[in-house]
Amino acid sequence: MFGLRQKLFFGFGGLLAILLSVSVLCVAVLQQHRSWLDQFLYENWRSVEYGQHMLDAIQPLNVIAQTVSGQSGEPTKAELAAATSASTKPLADFDSNCDAEDHNITLSHEDTIATDLTRLWSGFDIDVHTGRQTNKFTSDCYRDQFTKLLSGQTSLSDRRVAYAAIQRLSPLIKTRAQDVIDLNFQNMQPVEGKIKDMADSATRLIVRLAVAGAALAVVFILLMSRAILRPLGTLTQSLEEVAKGNLDQIVHVNSRDELHKLAEAFNSMAANLREFRRTDRAKLMRIQRTTQLAVNSLPDAIAVVNSSGIVELSNQTAQTLFSLFPEQSILSLRDERLGALYQQVSRDAAPSQPRGYESAIEVFDQGGQLRFFLPRAVPILDADRVLLGVTVVLGDVTNLRKLDEMKSGLLSVVSHELKTPLTSIRMASHLLLEERVGSLNPKQTELLMAARDDADRLQKIIEDLLDMGRLESGRVRLDLQAEPSERLVSDAITPLESAFHDKGLTLNVDVPVETPPVLADPARIGHVFSNLLTNAMKFTAPGGRVRIYAQPLDKFVRFIVEDTGIGIPSQHIGRIFERFYRVPRENQPSGAGLGLAIAKEIVDAHGGTISVESQPEKGSRFSFTLQRADQIPDKRETEAKYETSINPHNG
């Protein structure tokens, strides 16, 4: 059996052999034609040349003959010597050309002319087959008569007879020489036509050879292709099937070459893959079942959504309460909040920010019970941070929310109940300190002042608690208006300036009049500024500096309150906007941990954001944004929006 290498060798070698054979045959044909032409033209042309040379030689001989002919008397010895010497070359030329012509008889009739010419010239006869001059035929020939003329022995009368013979023989010789020329020329005429015929026949032969060669080559190529390409085609088909996932492919290649080995390797690879798939599939199914059971057992609703918004995996709760069934698009749910959350997380490729209980989604479970779920979403990113999907978790906060509501209700009741007696305590302490009801000794004044300060602080906490309650319940309506940024800030600073001064703090305000106006409820934003500034004052030691300034942005103005105080350790930064959260410190100043939570509620309700950067011992930088009033087309629209956003329970 042949290997692939041998097949390729025979395939290409065969083609090469065909090519070489055709070329060799063509060359042979052309060579044969060429040599035939050479021979043919050469022989005729030589005879023409011999004739011409003979004509050329006889001419000077005739002139020499005349000088020594005795017409003008007996030639002198000197004349004879000169004639002998001058005639040597033409005589030899004629001899040699005449002899050559005798040996170059190629045409019928040419032999008769050559025989005549030889007889007229030298008196010899010739053998037409060999061209040899045979026996002397006659002495009445040009050469013998000429020789007589050159001899000093010849008498004057003999000389004249000899010259007369030369005059008679010369035209006969010239005529025969010319006959040689003409006969051979005539024979060369039809050669042109013959050449054309030969070219045509050569072309026909070459074309036939080329066609035969091409046909042979095609047969070769077909045979070789069958031998090589058929097994390759079978292999390719099988590979395509494997690529589609059909691993039950077995390739049969009958040849015993490399392709057979390749087919064997392929079959063993497919067998290995089948084995892998069997074990992997079992493992995958086990993992999938376990994952599904684990996810189902959670009270929270969980769904894994792919990058096209289609639910890939979800648990029982997600399916029954939120219709998050596998294959369902999260964007086509009736409750658009989950779709919006998915879109936001896919766009930002960052987890959603946890929100308060007020943003929980309310649903009735199968038993008709109202339940609250807090939605959160986390993006699933690959190593290159390309989004693969989003995990949506709806935490069941029904109980927590109930507790929160109870706590808020309790706080509200307690605050209200405390507020009235506290107001009378504060009023009483103020009246006593103003000595409206009698004078006080220094010890009494000191005790009363401490009581008044504590009552004031308590009042502030109760105010904060009530504010928080109101904001949470959505009872607060914002009175939004376009406010000059500079006035908002200066209104907030004025009541606190003396306190800053008393504590030995420098307060720098850098909000120019040309800062764009913002859309704000002045009283509420005043509260935010007041909280931030009071905190800055509380947490900055005397001698420190507090700076308040503004940065206009595209659609917002950012307000910044910066201090050089004690700062906030990084582990607490993420939580300080939570309600009741306070950074644990030695010498904790008074407060309920509500100020920043209230500030955040207010800023959020305005459509802005609040944030903090801080470094312990270096200081803190609180900033929040408010919408620019000069960039909002319709104020009423905006108001409507914020009225809704401050009261999530309505949504």
The reply on whether position 468 binds ligand ADP by CB under 6 A is no
> Any contact of residue 544 with ligand ADP (CB under 6 A)?
no
Report the residue number, 263 or 602, with the smaller CB distance to ligand ADP: 602
Interface pick for ligand ADP out of 123, 565, 607, 608 (rule CB under 6 A): 565
**206, 582, 632, 648: which one binds ligand ADP (CB under 6 A):** 582
Side chain identity at 561, as an amino acid letter?
V
Structure tokens at 370: 């109202």
Report 505-534 residues binding ligand ADP (CB under 6 A).
531
Residue with smaller CB distance to ligand ADP, 270 or 592: 592
Interatomic CA distance for residues 458 and 443, integer angstroms: 23
Which residue's CB is nearer to ligand ADP, number 351 or number 589? 589
> CB-wise, 558 or 582, nearer to ligand ADP?
582
CA-nearest of 596, 552, 551 to 572 is: 596
Size of interface with ligand ADP, in residues (CB under 6 A): 20
Interacting residues with ligand ADP between 612 and 651 (CB under 6 A):
620
464: exposed, middle or buried (Cβ count in 10 Å: 0-12, 13-18, 19+)? buried
Is position 604 an interface residue for ligand ADP (rule: CB under 6 A)?
A: no
- Quick one: which of 596, 602, 605, 646 contacts ligand ADP (CB under 6 A)? 596
Residue span binding ligand ADP (CB under 6 A) among the ranges 354-362, 401-409, 424-432, 593-601:
593-601
Tell me the window of 82-90, 248-256, 336-344, 535-543 that interacts with ligand ADP (CB under 6 A).
535-543
Query: Using an 8 Å Cβ cutoff, are 353 and 578 in contact?
Result: no
φ and ψ at 44, to 5 degrees?
Answer: -65, -40
Neighbours of 209 (CB within 10 A): 18
- Expressed in angstroms, the distance from the first to the final Cα of the chain is 83
What 8-state DSSP symbol labels residue 354?
P
Which range touches ligand ADP (CB under 6 A), out of 59-67, 317-325, 485-493, 589-597? 589-597
The yes or no reply on residue 411 touching ligand ADP (CB under 6 A) is: no
* 576 near ligand ADP (CB under 6 A): yes
Which of 539, 559, 624, 642 is close enough to bind ligand ADP by CB under 6 A? 539
Return d(Cα 597, Cα 583) in angstroms, integer. 13
Range in contact with ligand ADP (rule: CB under 6 A) among 49-57, 231-239, 478-486, 586-594: 586-594
Gap between the Cα atoms of 118 and 173, Å rounded: 9
Q: Which of 295, 377, 390, 594 binds ligand ADP (CB under 6 A)?
A: 594
At 360, the amino acid letter reads A
Nearest-Å Rg of the Cα atoms of the chain is 64
Task: Find, among 359, 367, 371, the residue nearest to 397 by Cα.
Answer: 371
Q: Is 471 in the site for ligand ADP (CB under 6 A)?
A: no
E strand or H helix that includes residue 550? strand 545-552
* Alpha carbon distance 394, 299 (integer Å): 9
SS3 89: helix
Task: Find the length of the chain.
Answer: 651
* Distance of closest approach, residue 508 Cβ to ligand ADP, in angstroms: 15
* Chain positions contacting ligand ADP, by CB under 6 A: 531, 535-536, 539, 563, 565-568, 576, 582-583, 591-597, 620
